[in-house]
Chains A and B, each alone.
Chain A
């Protein structure tokens, strides 16, 4: 064996050694549960606790995928994501544009706009829950009579929960957009001003294309965030109201299947579907949107 290849082997050994702690942690808490999940999906829960789970192969998967509860959850999930992501991104961008001016006291607004990032989901949910309360909330104060509660309305419960998610995502979206705006090349914007671009052209033909990596990053992050929203639903709709399924987005459905219905098999199948959807959506975003993203190259 040559000296070079011995050294290469030694270097590889050291690399694996350094990777080991991360591998162990990921292995125990991510990879093992991830694989175990696939196994769980193949076993049906016994009708009575204590009996062994029964191997049913893919039949459990097909029955879950065919169930109307799953279909409803899927629709709720996509509605939720569609409500949260574009609104959060556009809202964050508008706030960032508004705050991207060197005016005295602007730091105060920047702090306010980004503050939703550091507020906890639980606090936000309780505050919004109070505001939406049919007796003491904002709506009766405005003279609107909403009974029993918008959180129990099949039509309004999902938008209401989405609103909290949007509010909370706004802070992160604002920070991402502000960082993007601040890193725009000043001279290119100045060149556009000299070339005669008005405000509208400037925004659509120069700022937005230059900001596209940021917008794309925000889209991926926002999508994953929306798919993983849980706390708002759990706190506002809650296990106490488990018959109300209009806000059962996939992740919440997974939780419900496991902790309320005590059905690990169902939960496993739903988790796999959620994983598959996130994977496909992210791949689609990368495949079709990233082409239109311009990364600065100097």
Chain B
């Protein structure tokens, strides 16, 4: 077990910078999720920890040792790939014991440990099968067994659930979390799925275009996004962002004035970006005037997508049983003033004057 530290790490491919100035600490025993849209550099960051990509600049350490120049096999990390990457010509048993065989673990111990790993993942009945004879979920469990059998310092998981169907994904997600909490092995988990990130991670690191946006516990990220990107990326749908202006202790959104809550009262006058979660907005009267552009019914809830006069879209989440407006209907969006977030109009950074 060990902590993983990125210290001003860069990764460049020719003229492209895949990871830029990444500084991040993964605590011993922590499950940290690297989250971001595709192409944000999260997989590259993970592959640098594995040693499959070289670090262009900066230092990367595992357990206090700088590993920039250490070969993958000497880093004592185990990786679970999106495609499972099982050895197709070997049985499940041989797949699981392969890492131990490379470490020249004696046969008896090897058999014992791989059986233990297989049992942990409920694979004891499949040991003589080849990967081709297994379902996707079973293959994923073999890949996990192969990772845990070595008892490595760090687990690296690269979108391990994305090839599974929805129901299996929920089940396996819970299994991985339970396994990680039990083994307390430091884990870096890459995903583009925010539900996975929110439910699995002790903390989440959000990346965009190779740059770290914010690292925080899931609920903190949701409640206090550091910038407009994090605000709109997290949540389904993401936070509504509307151009607004602060004047004194009021916020003016599309001609409607809303009193600023206490923690934002000292915000200097001028243009800002106001953020409001769909669940903190409701349809009523005396709010921001808008026109209904689209109504999406999801069963338990309904998303009403409204269009402001300047064409900005604002999503309002309505609970079960709320009155559904028609498309084209003029509505008034009421905002919960205490749930308003403010971001700088210049760089999108969160504005907060008192905690």
Taking Cβ atoms with an 8 Å cutoff, the residues of A that contact B are 185, 187-188, 190-198, 201, 206, 209-210, 212, 294, 296-297
Contacts and interface: CB of A to CB of B under 8 A. Distances in A.
A194 B88 contact: no
Nearest to B81: A187
A30 B151 CA distance: 63
A194 B79 contact: yes
B81 A195 contact: no
Interface in B32-71: 50-52
Contacts of B86: 188, 191
A297 B132 contact: yes
A195 B105 CA distance: 13
Given A194-B78, A196-B99, A294-B88, A187 B73 contact: no
Nearest to A197: B102
Contact of B89 (A196, A198, A210): A210
Contact of A192 (B77, B87, B132): B87
A212 B89 contact: yes
Contact of B88 (A193, A197, A297): A297
Contacts of B119: none
Contacts, number: 67
Contacts of A190: 50, 52, 72, 79, 81, 85
A139 B84 CA distance: 55
A210 B77 contact: no
A38 to B, nearest CB: 43
A189 to B, nearest CB: 8
B81 A191 contact: yes
B103 interface: yes
B87 A194 contact: no
B106 to A, nearest CB: 16
B53 to A, nearest CB: 10
Contacts of A294: 88-89
22 contacts: A187-B82, A187-B83, A187-B85, A188-B85, A188-B86, A190-B52, A191-B86, A191-B87, A191-B146, A192-B98, A194-B73, A195-B78, A195-B99, A196-B73, A196-B99, A196-B102, A196-B103, A197-B73, A197-B98, A209-B87, A210-B88, A297-B132
A-B complex: 5 closest residue pairs judged by Cβ atoms: A196-B102, A297-B132, A187-B85, A191-B85, A209-B89
Interface residues of B, number: 25
The A interface is mostly helix, strand or loop, or mixed, namely helix
A226 B83 CA distance: 40
A206 B85 CA distance: 12
Contact of B73 (A185, A195, A210): A195
A206 B89 CA distance: 8
Contacts of A192: 87, 98
A193 B103 CA distance: 12
Contacts of A297: 88, 131-132
Nearest to B76: A196
Interface in B129-169: 131-132, 146, 150
Contacts of B98: 192, 195, 197
B90 to A, nearest CB: 8
A201 B132 CA distance: 22
A225 B286 CA distance: 86
Nearest to B84: A187
A187 B46 CA distance: 14
A45 to B, nearest CB: 54
Given A194-B77, A195-B102, A195-B146, A188 B52 contact: no
Interface string B215-244: 000000000000000000000000000000
B79 A188 contact: no
B179 to A, nearest CB: 19
Of listed A188, A190, A194, A196, residue having the most chain B CB within 10 A: A194
A106 B89 CA distance: 31
B102 A188 contact: no
Contacts of B77: 194
A73 to B, nearest CB: 40
B100 to A, nearest CB: 9
A193 B73 contact: yes
Given A194-B50, A194-B77, A197-B73, A185 B85 contact: yes
